Amino acid sequence: MNLKSKVQQIKTNPVRKVAAQIVKFAIIGDSHVGYGNGLSIYKNQLAKAVKAGDKKFVIFGGDNKHGSVGTTAETDYKAFKDVARGILDPKKIPFKASIGNWEDNTRVLFKKYLGNVLGQMNFPGTNGKVKYVWLDNAPGKFSFASINLLKKLDPNYSYIIDCHWPLKVKGITVDPTHVISSVETQHFFDAIPSNVRDKVIAIFTHHAHVFYENLSNIYPGFTKTKFYVCGCSGAYQCKCNSSSCDRGYYEAALTINNNQFDLTVKGVKS
């Protein structure tokens, strides 16, 4: 084939562009089932979050139940799981829950109803390109197993990470009693291999009963990572008055285009 024929072939058979893929998901933190009317609030929030039918995943950020123990704790965990399964299963939406400080002393029951307290899985809808990592920092510091998991992250993938307590990132304005220490924060960031740091798309945290975000340069070496707090999805310490409420959840959309990732997150208030 001569040069002219090759040029003509290219013109008549252009390279097809692959359409960008959008993966939508929801983040719900601190439902505190067992406190006040937390169960009904949680049920309403979750139903609202997935009403549109386009969500691929739901993240629950810990303190899924309140401070109950014994048989009451089992009742609360079961109620939380039953609501999640009742709303999400018919829509075929998977979910994963992190462990919170109010659940730290009921770990056996947490595992019974909500699974492992830390781990890694394919983020639904991303064809394995993005991994979801949930960690255990329920007592205000990361477990050895959580840090070890971070050390083994593979640079061939991108990551969305969730843990209950917020990190002490640059410029954070969250109540300092609800943020882990600088030393513990450094422990977390140092554990992530240097060749993975630009692969961390976002870190979601909770515990502080506010909504907060920091979208750039949250920590040295993590220039592309976005950081969020979503800690007001229940009745506990969430301020409401006759006209407005600080309670709500996050809706997120992850756009994947030629292995480039862009995340947009917005708060949805009650």
Based on its alpha-carbon atoms, the radius of gyration of the chain, rounded to whole angstroms, reads: 20
- Match 């083994």 to its residue by tokens: 152
- Least Cα distance to 175 among 166, 183, 188, 185 occurs for 166
Q: Give all strands (DSSP E) within 148-223, no chain letters.
A: 158-162, 200-205, 211-214
Query: What is the structure's pLDDT at 31?
Result: 97
Q: What is the pLDDT of residue 107?
A: 98
Helix (H, G, I), strand (E, B) or coil at 139: coil
Q: Which two tokens stand for residue 159?
A: 């990551």
Query: What local confidence, expressed as pLDDT, does residue 270 receive?
Result: 80
CB–CB of 253/123 below 8 Å?
no
Answer yes or no: are the C-beta atoms of 98 and 119 closer than 8 Å: no
DSSP 136: -
* pLDDT tens digits along 218-251: 999 999 999 999 999 999 988 887 677 889 999 9
Least confident of 12-26, 141-155, 239-253: 12-26
Q: To 10 degrees, the CA torsion angle through 187, 191, 196, 198?
A: 10
- What is the Cα–Cα distance from 226 to 204, expressed in whole angstroms? 9
Question: Average pLDDT in the 177-201 region?
Answer: 97
Nearest to 231 by CA among 182, 185, 163, 139: 163
Whether pTM exceeds 0.85:
yes
pLDDT at 52 over 60: yes
pLDDT, residue 189, reads 98
CA nearest neighbour of 99 among 140, 46, 52, 63: 63
Q: What is the pLDDT of residue 53?
A: 84
For helices 38-49 and 70-88, give the axis angle rounded to 10 degrees.
20
Please determine, for residue 175, whether its predicted confidence score (pLDDT) is greater than 60: yes
Which domain range does residue 41 map to?
18-269
Q: Summarize the confidence of residues 39-53 as an average pLDDT.
A: 94
In a domain, 78, yes or no: yes
Does 4 score more than 80 pLDDT? no
- Percent over 70 (pLDDT), the chain: 93
Assign 5 a pLDDT band (cuts: 50, 70, 90): low
For residue 257, tell me if it sits in a domain: yes
- The residue length of the chain stands at 270
Nearest to 229 by CA among 89, 86, 65, 59: 59
Domain assignment present for 73: yes
CB 41 within 8 Å of CB 31: yes
Residue 104: give its domain's CATH number: 3.60.21.10
Average pLDDT over residues 112-134: 97
Per-residue confidence (pLDDT) for residue 17, from 0 to 100: 64
- Note whether residue 109 is domain-resident: yes
pLDDT of residue 15: 57
Domain membership of residue 45 (yes or no) is yes
Within-domain flag for 108: yes
Residue 1, pLDDT above cutoff 80: no
Q: What is the pLDDT of residue 203?
A: 98
Q: What is the pLDDT of residues 77-119, one digit of tens each?
A: 999 999 999 999 999 999 999 999 999 999 999 999 999 999 9
What's the CA gap between 33 and 78, in Å, rounded? 10
pLDDT score, position 9:
59
Within a domain: residue 4?
Answer: no
pLDDT at site 54 = 93
Does residue 12 fall inside a structural domain?
no
**What SS3 state is found at 252?**
strand
Domains held by the chain: number? 1
- Residue 244: other Cβ atoms inside 10 A: 10
CA atoms of 14 and 125, how far apart (whole Å): 28
In three-state secondary structure terms, 28 is strand
How high does pLDDT run on average in the chain? 93
Cα torsion at 194, 197, 198, 202 (round to 10°)?
180
